[in-house]
Amino acid sequence: MTTIDEYRLVFIASSSLEYGLRARGSFLREPITMDWLRQVVGPTDTVYDIGANVGAYSLYAGMKLKEGGGRVYAFEPAFTNFFSLCRNIEANDLSHVVIPFPVAVGAVTGLDRLFLSSIEAGAALHGVHAPKSEGRDFDTKFVQGVYATSLADFAENRAIEFPNHIKIDVDGYEVEVITGLESLLSSDQLKSIVIEINKDISRGRIEQTILKYGFSLARTEHWPTKNTSNNLFVRPDLGLYSAEGRA
């Protein structure tokens, strides 16, 4: 059980990594993500969580949205994490709010392979197409088939709500994800994007793409051990967030 703000979240952890890093650490390690969930995401909104892992942020969002009729679509392709994600959703009675999808999100839609750097629940730094994450090769522990989709193709489905907010944490595949959702960026329905950006890979392309569609960079935080930052982009005309980082 993890208590965060007014919510009590249940995690059924099957590894020390899942317990310590995800169930306990997620809500402390990313202040921008938590500020976004608390102050920007509204109770009637639709949230896409790209790279949901075992579901910490999806669960928090689900708790906030369940009374207002909002929805969370949680994307997690790694089989060990997806099982835990589904189990945690069920344990918190959020299956009517948080909808998990075992698919990878990228630039194009089709079949692909997912290379796992670890089969421990809660692990990250996996690779689509090749055993590479954040620009670095790794030793593959397991290879699984995966269905990949662009967010533009996904959101076209009439059974799916259009996103109001998107969180992206995909360990170096951000350029592909942004390429696959660029057609969504022109819609005023999309109010905010929280995205972890590896600057050595992006080289400014992600930031330029998002900014040209009228978003502003509201906040950024840099990881101390690598050239990566967590960034919050919002539409300034909606008054969601000020430059000082307060709603």
Summarised one tens digit per residue, pLDDT across range 200-246 is 999 999 999 999 999 999 999 998 888 999 999 999 876 655 444 43
Question: Would you say residue 243 lies in a domain?
Answer: no
Residue 57 domain flag: yes
Instruction: Report the alpha-carbon distance of residue 172 to residue 135 in Å, rounded.
Output: 7
Task: Identify the domain containing residue 51 by its residue range.
Answer: 2-238
Looking at residue 239, its pLDDT comes to 67
Tokens found for residue 223: 């990881």
Q: Write down the pLDDT at residue 69.
A: 95
Residue 247 counted as domain residue: no
Write the CA distances from 241 to 185, 244, 247, integer angstroms: 18, 8, 5
In this structure, is residue 244 part of a structural domain? no
The total number of structural domains in the chain stands at 1
What is the strand order of the sheet 98-101 is part of? 98-101, 71-75, 46-50, 165-168, 192-198, 228-234, 216-222
Kindly report, residue by residue over 37-95, the tens digit of the pLDDT.
999 999 999 999 999 999 999 999 999 999 999 999 999 999 999 999 999 999 999 99
> Is 90 a member of any domain?
yes
Asked whether residue 22 is assigned to any structural domain, the reply reads yes
| CATH number (domain holding residue 152) | 3.40.50.150
Residue 224, Cβ density class (10 Å: 0-12 exposed, 13-18 middle, ≥19 buried): exposed
Q: What is the pLDDT of residue 23?
A: 82
Whether residue 62 is contained in a domain is answered as yes
In 3D space, the residue among 195, 221, 222 whose CA is nearest the CA of residue 210 turns out to be 195
Q: Is residue 47 part of a domain?
A: yes
